[in-house]
Structures are given as C-alpha cells and as structure tokens.
Homo-oligomer: A and B are copies of this chain.
Amino acid sequence: MANDPKPDPTDLSRLRIVLVGTQHPGNIGSAARAMKTMGLSRLFLVAPEKAPNHESAALAAGADDVLAAATIVPTLTEALSDCRLVLGCTARSRRVQLEQHDPREAAGRLLAEAAGGAEVALVFGRERTGLENEELQLCHAAVHIPANPDYSSLNLAAAVQVLAYELRMSALAAAPAAAAPVRDDPPASHAQLEGFFTQLGETLDAIDFHKGRAPESAMRKLRRLYLRAELDEREVRLLRGILADAERMAMLAGQRR
C-alpha cells in the first residue's frame, strides 16, 4: 500500500471479499468462482461452519487458486484489522441504521478508497441469516441489492457475483482509454454514401420501382434507413454490387420488351 506511489485505479488487489460463517462449503467454491470471473482474488473466510473441501473445489472450477489462497480466521475483527473501509451486505434494509448503498454506489466507494491506497473489504453473511447486528456494526455502511421485494432470495454466490461485477465495471470505467467499439472497416465517407444513393436512385428507375409515383418519398425513407445503419466502405461496395446486377437484369429485360 504505502510503497505504491502511483495507485492504479483499475487495481482490485486492495479489495478483499469476506464470507462470514458460511454454512455450505459448496457456496465458498461458487463464491470463489464468481470472484475470479470478475478479477477478484482475495478471499477471507471467517469461521466457516465447515472448512473448504472437495465440494468447494468442485464448484470453484478453475478458481481453485482463489480458494487455495483463502485466509481463514476465527473472527470478523481479524479479517478486517487493516481495512480502512468496510461495507457489509444485507438483505434486510429496515433493520440496520447504517448508511445504505446499492451495489453500484458501493463499488464506486470501495474502489475510490482503494485507489487512494487503502485496504478495503466487502463482507457477506451466512446463507440463511446474513450478518448479525454486531457484525454489521463493524461496517462503515451497508450494501443492499435492490431485489424483487416478493422474492429477494439471492444465493450467496449470486450476491457475490453481482457485487464483483459492479466492482469490475467500476474498475473498467476508471481505467484509462476505454477501447473504442471496433468496426472492421472504416465508415463510408460522405462522398461514398452519396455515390451509393445516386446509384440507388438510378436502379429504382431502371427496375421501374416507382411506377409513376414521385420518387422523393421512397428515396427519403431509404436515405434515412441507410444513414442510420452507418454503412462502412465494404458494405457500400456490397450494396452497389447488388444494384449493378439489378440494373443489368433491367437492361436485359428492357432489350426484351
């Protein structure tokens, strides 16, 4: 921490996920997997009912490294001792008198604090009963996933997944130079588009599309459609190739008539 002169805002390494009193070892594995998919790696287990076992490993799948590196401690206080910001997840929004964040706000706050060089923690309680009041009192604020009030029963790994996802989104947003959406080919130039529209008009005449109606309305609709699609150069060539073949057919047909 202190020896890092230039904190990296995309760095999730100062953040720990703390699972308190987990009842099913499988859920520890699923939580490890959810963490790793979002680039989180530091897992603390506070007095799990059963230590991680084969079931945890099976559900961790390729995140067994996160599981193997987990720190097991007997009390929440020990898991948090060097942390400067601690947020605790809770399903029950009324019980706690803590400030409440939704997952997005929580992720932003945790990362901002971590970017400043602090160790930060996000704490999840037991599957059935969540965090106890005394445990929540160790937290600076609560995090509440705004679930369906009629059925708010996210399982532990699902809750970890949602928070880990928000942490990654927040880290990515803070990262420098978010990559531009890739298009293979350069967008068509104004001149290329106008060349296409001119040929389109000629083709519609050639195949007798208008049949005596004024061409403006159809052309206006077609311009709007193709401009909206933001054609690239290759697409303009493809469409002009189709028009050329339609014109060729019209010419052959005309020779017949």
Contacts and interface: CB of A to CB of B under 8 A. Distances in A.
A4 interface: no
Given A146-B169, A253-B253, 16 more contacts: A33-B153, A33-B158, A34-B154, A36-B148, A39-B147, A148-B168, A158-B158, A161-B161, A204-B242, A208-B249, A209-B245, A225-B235, A226-B229, A246-B249, A248-B253, A252-B252
A253 B235 CA distance: 27
Interface string A33-66: 1101111000000000000000000000111000
Most B C-beta atoms less than 10 A away, residue of A102, A204, A250: A250
Contacts of A195: none
Contacts of A246: 207, 246, 249-250
A226 B172 CA distance: 31
A190 interface: no
Interface of A: 33-34, 36-39, 61-63, 97, 99-100, 102-104, 145-148, 150-155, 157-158, 161-162, 165, 168-169, 172, 181, 184, 204, 206-209, 218, 221-222, 225-226, 228-231, 234-235, 238, 241-242, 245-246, 248-250, 252-253, 255-257
Most B C-beta atoms less than 10 A away, residue of A39, A165, A235: A165
